Amino acid sequence: MQTDAKGPLQSGPAAMKLRVIAVPIAFNEDKKIGLVIDRFNRSDVDEIMVIDDGSTDRTAEVIRSRGVSLLSQPERGGVGK
């Protein structure tokens, strides 16, 4: 069995390409969310999807400007809701 730094490699018809999706959650983080998005290593992450948890500032606008997926909650859900 072949391995790499992340563990065993599968081969043949049963092999599946696993996808890595980063999902940060933001609430009124327009000053910082751009930096958070930029810090993800695009060679390790297949997709970035940010959840905007009911922000009332420019958070959604900043997320869109970075060209990543955005899921906007209409109102704040907070932790554990």
Q: What is the pLDDT of residues 22-75, one digit of tens each?
A: 999 999 999 999 999 999 987 889 999 999 999 999 999 999 999 999 999 988
Give pLDDT tens digits for 38-52: 999 878 899 999 999
Beta pairing partners, 4: 7
Q: Does the predicted TM-score (pTM) go above 0.75?
A: no
